[in-house]
């Protein structure tokens, strides 16, 4: 079977909702034992229960972990490694911010740095020593905002640009250990976050604004979490054994076809 992850152990951060939850489901259905990490342990547990559904053959474990807290990450990874080596790390956890540099206070910058940059650092640093023994795969969630300029995304773009360069550095530094590292850069993906943003900022105009945001992708729609998850599955699989040090836009033509 193509993209078979049987016998693999995967750790997915921010796995309790949205894109992360879709990644957990797709990796688990491919045979991996997926450890769902989320800030709220209850969110992780609910996600695991929902993904399992009637399919009790898939393997899921739920954890509460703040990726910005190095001690929590180290403790969580150590507990998982007592059961099995970690073969796959998906650094998906992230938070957003809307605003130009004038709308971005020091507290905003620090908050995004702690999760979007330090969170990736903490998780990769905790997992790599074990991966150096038998190889492994790291997939970092970047964004088109880290590659091209997007209005009012100053702090968010900064952090996703850092994710890209961390990806390249990790790929180069650990290729000799059999560790592959790539990143995925989505454009707008339809998640509950998008719906919440529209209802909060455009009450009564949600449908209109959803259509406008969808049209910013040349393909004419937003992506789905499952589409991102299946790209991640490929990068985690042996079918991608020759792929490392690369960013993969999944953007409906946003980067290359706009303008």
Which residues are identified as catalytic? 156
Measured CA to CA, the distance from residue 34 to residue 84 in angstroms comes to 11
């Amino acid at each position: 079977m193509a993209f078979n992850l049987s016998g693999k152990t995967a750790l997915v951060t921010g796995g309790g909702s949205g894109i992360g939850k879709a990644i957990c489901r797709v990796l688990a259905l491919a045979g991996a034992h997926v450890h769902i990490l989320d800030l709220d342990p209850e969110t992780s547990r609910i996600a695991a229960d929902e993904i399992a559904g009637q399919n009790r053959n898939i393997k899921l474990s739920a954890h509460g972990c703040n990726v910005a807290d190095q001690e929590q990450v180290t403790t969580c990874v150590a507990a998982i490694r007592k059961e099995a080596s970690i073969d796959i790390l998906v650094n998906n956890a992230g938070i957003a911010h809307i605003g130009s540099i004038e709308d971005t206070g020091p507290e905003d910058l620090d908050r995004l740095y702690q999760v979007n940059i330090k969170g990736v650092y903490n998780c990769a640093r905790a997992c790599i020593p074990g991966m150096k023994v038998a190889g492994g795969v790291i997939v970092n969630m970047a964004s088109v905002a880290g590659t091209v300029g997007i209005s009012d995304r100053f702090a968010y773009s900064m952090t996703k640009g850092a994710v890209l360069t961390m990806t390249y550095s990790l790929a180069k530094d650990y290729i000799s250990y059999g560790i592959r590292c790539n990143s995925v850069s989505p454009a707008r993906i339809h998640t509950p976050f998008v719906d919440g943003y529209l209802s909060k900022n455009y009450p009564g105009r949600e449908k209109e604004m959803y259509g406008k945001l969808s049209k910013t992708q040349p393909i004419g729609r937003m992506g789905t979490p499952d589409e991102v998850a299946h790209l991640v599955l490929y990068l985690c699989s042996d079918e991608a054994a020759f792929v490392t040090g690369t960013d993969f836009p999944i953007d409906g033509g946003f980067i290359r076809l706009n303008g």
